[in-house]
Amino acid sequence: MLDYLRNLVVGSVVGLTGVEELSEISELLYTQNYNADRIRIDPGVVRGLGYYTGPVYEAELTFQITDEKGRPRNFGSVAGGGRYDGLVKRFTGQDVPATGVSIGVDRLLAALHAKGRTTADTAGPVVVTVMDRDRMADYMAMVGELRKAGIRAEVYLGNPKNFGNQLKYADKRQSPIAVIQGGNEAENGTVILKDLILGAKIAENATLEEWKDRPAQVEVPRADLVATVRKMLAP
């Protein structure tokens, strides 16, 4: 599909820029093991031409259920959105990059109920921090591995320049663990796992000597990411 679209917009700078954005999105999804059975690039998806300025998307539930009369039914679309960089400027005069999604809450809750997945989980997600924007695919891959193992996880999508803000975000999300991989760790094939819950408890109650004896973070081989996170999350 990407090759077809490239040929279709030959000679258009705007068109080729859009196709390259779709290509980058596709690569990031692929690193998280979202393949053609989950994600499809479809030029037939059209949303709000008056204000969307980039990729748009829709989320559909494809599994079937049986209604009260025994007929098969699909839930269909439960969310949609996209990028609209110029929308905020219309009201404030200030350029603000923006992207968003609208969720059909009632339909989504009905689908979760049908799948028996309405039990609340109050634990926050593991947050993968971003030390280098050019390595976003690596961070997305970590999130994908954690999710595949049944561990809630997300990557930090704000401005990565202030690392303290990333940890504040993780704290706000009630995250139990922050995953950190800077250039040195990437070169050594390791990741740092920061135990945010233990760290908070140590900072609150422990003496300086106790705090030194009980480090709230560990550095482990990259290949041991999932196993170590699972061990840290175990009750």
pLDDT of 110 above 90: no
Q: Does 39 or 64 have the greater pLDDT score?
A: 39
Q: Are 222 and 179 in contact (CB under 8 A)?
A: no
Residue type, 173: R
Reported as a single tens digit per residue, the pLDDT across 44-101 is 998 888 889 999 999 998 888 777 777 887 888 899 999 999 888 888 989 888 999 9
Determine the 3-state secondary structure of 93 from DSSP.
coil
Which architecture does CATH list for 126-233?
Answer: 3-Layer(aba) Sandwich (3.40)
Q: Are 143 and 157 in contact (CB under 8 A)?
A: no
Closest CA to 225 of 199, 195, 176, 191: 191
The arithmetic mean of pLDDT across residues 195-211, rounded, is 61
The arithmetic mean of pLDDT across residues 95-119, rounded, is 84
Predicted local distance difference test score (pLDDT) of residue 163: 87
Q: Does domain 2-114 have CATH number 3.30.930.10?
A: yes
Among 80-89, 107-116, 169-178, 216-225, where is mean pLDDT lowest? 107-116
Instruction: Tell me how far apart the alpha carbons of residues 144 and 228 are, in angstroms, rounded to a whole number.
Output: 16
Closest CA to 82 of 129, 128, 106, 50: 50
Predicted local distance difference test score (pLDDT) of residue 234: 87
Q: Are 110 and 136 in contact (CB under 8 A)?
A: no
Q: Does 196 or 226 have the greater pLDDT score?
A: 226
For residue 201, what pLDDT band results from cuts at 50, 70 and 90?
Answer: low
Predicted local distance difference test score (pLDDT) of residue 63: 83
Q: Where are the domains positioned within the chain?
A: 2-114, 126-233
Tokens of 120: 């609340």
pLDDT of 214 above 60: no
Determine the 3-state secondary structure of 66 from DSSP.
strand
pLDDT of 212 above 60: no
The arithmetic mean of pLDDT across residues 218-229, rounded, is 96
